[in-house]
Structure 1
């Protein structure tokens, strides 16, 4: 499944349920259902999400074992095929050899593009080591029939920043189809676009969708768009058409909730907001991640209601 990357795609949540033994397990049916609901939503100008991101940061990725992750992605591939969009998933490892094995596994369950995060090492790799890490992933992806998307996430703890020089070197590898830049510093996007105006760059933080578009990003990967897909798709429509004032109104309406996308507990916060939106607070609080305090829960609830109220004025609630 190919993508031109011009648009927005949701990083869907992995919904969980209680097993008979009382432990949490993946609710495949609910996860598929919610992914389908997001993909079928249209913006005001008729466009839809143009991809599906599964088992990402918002999808409990850090807490899933290999079998859980592959089973989840296999189920999401069915939804992606139904709506004719590519399935994207992340991958990271300490060594390039381990990363190659992960990519091989992802290709067997229907993943079309792998977002390759920097290596999980305590010491900072040299530029040469970092390039070799990504080069092997690109070659492996070619062998198994998928593509890769180098993922620069310098704002997240535990991930090494990719220099603009390295990103440019990686962008010209044959099997690299796009770059994902997850940072509020959109000047990185602008710098890359000035070097190569044909680059495909996706923004990864909801608060900067409009600013990233101004800097040259062709689209983005969204978490808040899982909750308010009509608003997210419509905002990207306006960005793509250069209707900046209209896009900015939506960005401002989403601001109270988008703020959470740049916080360390973004998965827990946004998953709860999703639960509130669908009258399933208990489900929204089921996570392999951290438990939220009452103060945090109340804050998410208030932020959700404020965004909903603002979007209702703009007729952007599904």
Structure 2
């Protein structure tokens, strides 16, 4: 099995939030300036070893992708493309559709606003597609990517409600498509990553759940896409530096320090939880509550705040607060 040789720099990439503001009518709209500023602030941060984030993920789950219109999404990504170019990193965005024709169209649209790699979710169908139907869906998105001059990243998220799991056998087949630059595996079951790497040691796999960064690295993942890293980028980058060097004890210290907040990345309301924590981190609790997602209860707000404070205290002890 062959894979392309795109270098993901063995690092972590932030799935940045879409910052919102109230319009004159009181409706929420995208605050492009704030979104660009916070994305740039994250990309500026260096880990203890001197490395930085290796990419920028926009309009993903944490970017309120499912709540934005197509026009809003494209405008947002165009704005983030400017930041990605400024820091010389690839811009990545998610995409989902019911049919292979629809996903092919979306891939081409994303390419027009500066997206370099499209994270392609499985088809959004009620019935579970067969492996052949699933392969055809990804194969057509790969063809569209080739025509548009971009790449794709099959996104397997079997733990999330509403998304079909991609079988390990199918993931192996998809990895061989020339336009597939990596696989994103978002699950706490890192044995999936280990199984894939045993089959092909050159495969590039990115972990998508913050709680398993170290474990995924042990299993063979070359990096990850992070939500918590938007809040604590220095810690996230430094942890990946240790993973890359095989310094597992040091990496695990950081993982444990962030455990209280990383837990939120694997919850159904991860967008709402982590966006609120980000707001608290920037002394903008009200802004942190501006979301198109679900409104948090006071009990949830108190829990997130407590988890954030605990992680911050632990990271301060390690000298990893920006």
Q: What number of residue pairs does the alignment pair up?
A: 317
Partner of 2:237: 233
Deviations along 1:240-287, whole A, 9 cap, x unmatched? 000000000000000000000000000000000000000000110000
| 1:222 equivalent in alignment to 2:226 | yes
Partner of 2:15: 11
**Is residue 120–residue 159 contact of structure 1 (8 Å, CA) maintained in 2?**
yes
* C-alpha distance in structure 1 between counterparts of 2:80 and 2:296, whole Å: 27
| 1:75 equivalent in alignment to 2:118 | no
Partner of 1:300: 304
Runs of 4+ in 1 over 3 A off after TM superposition: none
| 1:117 equivalent in alignment to 2:101 | no
Residue 26 (structure 1) aligned to one of 14, 27, 30: 30
Deviations along 1:107-146, whole A, 9 cap, x unmatched? 0000000000000001000111000000000011000000
SS in 2 for 1:9: strand
| Deviation of the 1:4 alpha carbon | 2.6
Deviations along 1:147-181, whole A, 9 cap, x unmatched? 00000000001100000100000001111010000
| 1:139 equivalent in alignment to 2:143 | yes
Partner of 2:171: 167
| Deviation of the 1:6 alpha carbon | 1.3
* C-alpha distance in structure 2 between counterparts of 1:315 and 1:115, whole Å: 33
* C-alpha distance in structure 1 between counterparts of 2:8 and 2:286, whole Å: 38
Structure 1 unaligned spans of 5+: none
Residue 257 (structure 2) aligned to one of 253, 256, 265: 253
Partner of 1:190: 194
* C-alpha distance in structure 2 between counterparts of 1:140 and 1:101, whole Å: 8
| 1:285 equivalent in alignment to 2:295 | no
**Is residue 182–residue 205 contact of structure 1 (8 Å, CA) maintained in 2?**
yes
Residue 44 (structure 1) aligned to one of 42, 48, 54: 48
| 1:157 equivalent in alignment to 2:164 | no
Aligned-residue CA RMSD in angstroms?
0.6
Q: Normalised by the size of structure 2, how large is the TM-score?
A: 0.98
Partner of 2:130: 126
* C-alpha distance in structure 1 between counterparts of 2:175 and 2:219, whole Å: 17
Deviations along 1:30-71, whole A, 9 cap, x unmatched? 000000000000000000000000000000101000000000
**Is residue 147–residue 175 contact of structure 1 (8 Å, CA) maintained in 2?**
yes
